[in-house]
């Protein structure tokens, strides 16, 4: 049972882990701002400051309210609440995965641990491929559907003529963020797959003798 729990939860765990690595990376934001000409439409100093402000808001719930208008701030509040749920879910998954691994270690089920690592890597790769296919078909459609499912209002439907946040974070920003998340998931998954295969191939579990 613990093996199947590990295998089923690992793709979602890696997804959230990868999301965190992108969402809190200010350098990624700045590179995207340059790539998508955000600095052409808005002052660089303001954009960089508010990007750091948004990241801090996601972490702490505190934000400087002098730059964004009321609608933008209300949408950011929705994003913050959703991000909080994702954070709680991450720690819940981490706790469950840790307990499963520790109990398997305690029972000296080494072969089961290694096979779980190997299969978790494979299922996570498959998960990333499926996500990539769905988004590749139409990122705009998927992006819109994502908002319609996760947000209960229309605050996310922003106007570039009046709302600076949509100028800071164009659709291309989120596409690149998604691509980086997929790359992270596949990277972590490959590490798990190769590590599990190596451990199983060399039958390291047979060399570990009970105390």
How many degrees, rounded to 5, is the angle at CA 186 between CA 133 and CA 90? 100
pLDDT at 206: 52
What lies within 8 Å, CB to CB, of 114 at 6+ separation is 196, 199, 200, 204, 205
Distance from C-alpha of 140 to C-alpha of 114, rounded to nearest angstrom: 39
Single pTM value for the model:
0.89
Closest residue by Cα to residue 149 from 95, 200, 78, 52:
78
pLDDT for 103-115, tens place per residue?
Answer: 887 777 778 888 8
pLDDT for 77-97, tens place per residue?
Answer: 999 999 999 999 999 999 999
Using CA atoms, how far residue 119 sits from 2, 17, 94, 100, 198, in Å, is 13, 19, 18, 15, 13
Distance from C-alpha of 76 to C-alpha of 147, rounded to nearest angstrom: 13
pLDDT at 204: 54
Q: What are phi and psi of 152, to 5 degrees?
A: -95, 10
Asked if 125 contacts 48 with a C-beta cutoff of 8 angstroms, the reply is no
Residues of the chain below pLDDT 50: 207-209, 211
Distance from C-alpha of 179 to C-alpha of 114, rounded to nearest angstrom: 29
pLDDT at 203: 62
pLDDT at 211: 46
């Amino acid at each position: 049972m613990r093996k199947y729990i590990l295998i089923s939860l690992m793709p979602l765990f890696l997804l959230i882990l990868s999301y965190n690595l992108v969402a809190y990376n200010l350098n990624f934001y700045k590179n995207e701002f340059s790539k998508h000409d955000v600095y052409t439409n808005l002052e660089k100093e303001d954009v960089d400051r508010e990007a750091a402000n948004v990241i801090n808001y996601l972490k702490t719930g505190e934000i400087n309210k002098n730059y964004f208008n009321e609608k933008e701030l209300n949408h950011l509040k929705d994003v913050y609440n959703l991000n909080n749920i994702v954070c709680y879910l991450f720690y819940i998954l981490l706790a469950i995965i840790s307990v499963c691994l520790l109990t398997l270690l305690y029972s000296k089920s080494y072969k089961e641990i290694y096979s779980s690592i190997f299969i978790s890597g494979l299922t996570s790769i498959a998960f990333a491929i499926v996500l990539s296919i769905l988004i590749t078909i139409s990122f705009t459609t998927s992006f819109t559907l994502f908002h319609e499912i996760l947000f209960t209002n229309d605050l996310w439907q922003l106007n570039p003529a009046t709302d600076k946040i949509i100028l800071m974070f164009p659709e291309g920003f989120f596409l690149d963020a998604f691509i980086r998340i997929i790359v992270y998931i596949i990277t972590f998954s490959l590490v798990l797959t190769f590590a599990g295969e190596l451990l199983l191939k060399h039958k390291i579990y047979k060399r570990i003798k009970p105390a």
